[in-house]
Amino acid sequence: MSSSFSSVSKPASSTPVSPQAQHLESLTDVIHFLHARGWTPATSSNFSCRLPEGQTGFSISVSGLDKGTFSAEDFLEVDFAGQVICPEQAHLRPSAETLLHALVYQQFPAAQVVLHTHSVNGTVLSKLYEASQGLLLKDFEVLKGLEGIRTHQTELWLPIFGNHQDMTVLAAQIEPVLREQKPVYGFLLAGHGLYTWGDTLAQAKRHVEVFEFLFECVLKLRSHGYSDYS
Ligand SMILES: [Zn+2]
């Protein structure tokens, strides 16, 4: 491209877009992708990304919005206690599950994005394996989609916790497991949904896709009477 063409095409005045605003745009694209897959029904599910280096807290989706029409303006900034940071956003209500996002960020300093979805398959499996307090995923090639896993010959425990409306109670149950189980890539809340995260947005999205693929596999294997998932 010639320099003269560049100078002609350049807008006379352009408002620079901050890196965080770009992150929220990209996260919104992922939310629309997850919604299109049917994993965020009826205004459920919530999503967040950590604030830039030097700031404490994260941006999280506003509560109760349809994820098909969700926009990059529908986030608000909260601290790790779940309190809204900016006075001008004080009238907005963060997701009820904000404390669980905070828990993940505090347990995993490298995590940049937390995605929480409500798929049918994840919900059904969480009920089927609630009594076992987890689901063992092993010998699937697609496990390699989880960051750091190099072989299908992997046994990965996906913890399942009983659901609760009090996030303080839930966080107290989940925290020791996240702290002690290594590696841990996500967890299910029984009858509720999946939490997973990543050090990048792409990694977090990939982790949702891995888990959803495996949930479908497990349910199909069960329906065929496969011994590992009977
Ligand atoms: Zn939820």
What's CA 13's distance to the chain center, in Å? 37
Give the pLDDT mean for 17-45.
92
124 located within any domain: yes
- Say if 10 falls within a structural domain: no
Domain count, the chain: 1
pLDDT for the residue numbered 14: 62
Separation of CA 196 and ligand 1 centre (Å): 12
* pLDDT grade for 77, boundaries at 50, 70 and 90: very high
Question: Within a domain: residue 217?
Answer: yes
Please list, residue by residue across 134-155, b when 16 or more beta carbons sit within 10 angstroms of its beta carbon and e when fewer do: bbebeebebbebbbebeeeebe
The model's pTM is 0.90
Q: What is the pLDDT of residue 113?
A: 98
Task: Report if residue 12 sits inside a domain.
Answer: no
What is the bridge-based pairing of β-strands 155-161 and 186-189? Answer: parallel
Token couple for 173: 């149950």
Instruction: Please give the distance, rounded to the nearest whole angstrom, from the Cα atom of residue 62 to the centre of ligand 1.
Output: 13
Which pLDDT tens digit goes with each residue over 143-158? 999 999 998 989 999 9
Q: Tell me whether residue 4 is in a domain.
A: no
Percent of the chain with pLDDT over 90: 75
Res 2: pLDDT: 38
In a domain, 3, yes or no: no
pLDDT for 95? 80
| Residue 62 belongs to domain with CATH number | 3.40.225.10
Could you tell me if residue 7 is inside a domain? no
Write down the pLDDT at residue 7.
43
Q: Which helix (H) or strand (E) holds 100?
A: helix 98-107
Whole domain around residue 187: which residue ranges? 17-229
Separation between Cα atoms, residue 92 and residue 62, nearest integer Å: 7
Is 5 inside any structural domain? no
What is the band of 4 on the pLDDT scale with cuts at 50, 70, 90?
very low
Residue 61 is predicted with a pLDDT of 94
Distance 44 CA to ligand 1 centre (A): 6
pLDDT at 13: 53
Amino acid at 193: G
For residue 40, the CA-to-ligand 1 centroid distance in Å is 9
Ligand 1 center to 155 CA (angstroms): 26
pLDDT score of 210: 98
Q: Give me ligand 1 centre to Cα 97, in Å.
A: 7
Please choose, from the candidates 117, 116, 114, the residue with its C-alpha nearest in 3D space to the C-alpha of residue 59. 114
Ligand 1 center to 43 CA (angstroms): 10
pLDDT tier at 70, thresholds 50, 70, 90: very high
Q: What is the pLDDT, as a whole number, of residue 16? A: 67
Predicted confidence (pLDDT) per residue in 102-132, tens digit: 999 999 999 999 999 999 999 999 999 999 9
